[in-house]
Amino acid sequence: MPDLRAVVERALAEDIGPGDATTLACVEAGTQAAGTFTARQPIVVAGLELLEILYEDAPSLVVVARNGDRLASGARIAVVRGSARTLLSRERVALNFLQRLSGVATLAAQYVDAVAGTRTKILDTRKTTPGLRLLEKAAAAAGGVTNHRIGLYDAILIKNNHITAAGGVRNALDRVRGSNLKVEIEVRTRDELDQALSSGAKHLLLDNLTPAQAMEWIAHIAGRATVELSGNITLDNVRAYAEAGPDFISSGAITHSAPAVDINFRLELD
């Protein structure tokens, strides 16, 4: 997990700047209040660990939910009590984090639910908001997704441009032989697929196939390597791809296109 305090401090500095002009003008110092976070639609909640940093100086913070909980519309998430000025000044940053990360978790859960009963696991990708990758991957995991590689450093994924730069499938695989990292290679044609298999590839990425093509290629692989599918896979068709028999399906949409969910913050004077 990244330095969450630094993430929160950057977000607060960006929003508050030299001071919350509206709150300082309208709310007397010393005014005490309670604020309640509530789901306004069915969600899978994520990002709750950030509330503890945002409100660490508040006299009371009660987090009712846990990351990964499936909440109905109207369910309470957390209640914070303290300075009304603090609660108001941090409202938008808190909601931005919760709505964004819970949106990722909610979409992740929808993908997981869509393939339930098949052998396929859903993976996330590196298509994340710069600086928030680990938070977004934690949110995806809260929704039931399996995290793929975190960055360029913890696995080898040979994609089409690597193959071009290396001079072909066999050359690329030869150059990573002996690595202690997991090695996966993307193949685009049946010829590349056969080259990869004959070169000992054990993890294959098949990109931009139709479900029918994926089923045919997976039958040809016949268990000689694990198979990941990606490319043009949506909630509407992910089940069809899963029924083709891959070990994994990866979706960048889980992080790069997750809509923010509707979470409300209601303030009441103590």
In this predicted structure, what is the pLDDT of residue 270?
A: 82
Inter-residue contact 207 to 181 (CB < 8 Å): no
- Average per-residue pLDDT in the chain? 97
Span 184-225, pLDDT tens digits = 999 999 999 999 999 999 999 999 999 999 999 999 999 999
User: In whole angstroms, how far apart are CA 180 and each of 153, 166, 172, 177?
Assistant: 12, 20, 16, 9
Give the rounded percent of residues in the chain with a pLDDT score beyond 70: 99
Please say whether the beta carbons of 64 and 79 come within 8 A. Answer: yes
CATH number for 209: 3.20.20.70
Whether residue 66 sits in one domain with residue 105:
yes
Containing structural domain, residue 67: 4-112+259-269
Tens-place pLDDT, residues 47-84:
999 999 999 999 999 999 999 999 999 999 999 999 99
Residue 267 has pLDDT above 80, yes or no: yes
Both 264 and 149 in one domain: the answer is no
pLDDT confidence band for 2 (50 / 70 / 90): low
For residues 84 and 24, membership in a common domain is answered with yes
Token pair belonging to 135? 């938070």
Closest to 254 in 3D by CA, of 228, 233, 224 = 233
Do 108 and 120 have their domain in common?
no
Same domain, 240 and 185: yes
Same domain, 108 and 11: yes
- Please check whether residues 126 and 233 belong to one and the same domain: yes
* Domain identity same for 57 and 144: no
Answer yes or no: do 140 and 225 share one domain: yes
CA distance 48 to 64: 10
Please check whether residues 250 and 127 belong to one and the same domain.
yes
- According to DSSP, residue 201 is labeled -
The CATH number of the domain holding residue 93 is: 3.90.1170.20
Q: Are residues 67 and 152 in the same domain?
A: no
Strand-strand pairing, 263-269 and 32-39: antiparallel
Residues 133, 250, single domain; the answer is yes
How many domains would you assign to the chain?
A: 2
Two structure tokens written together for 251: 């979706």
Confidence at 263, pLDDT banded by 50, 70, 90: very high
Label residue 3 by pLDDT band (50, 70, 90): confident
- The residues assigned a catalytic role are 92, 127, 159, 186, 207
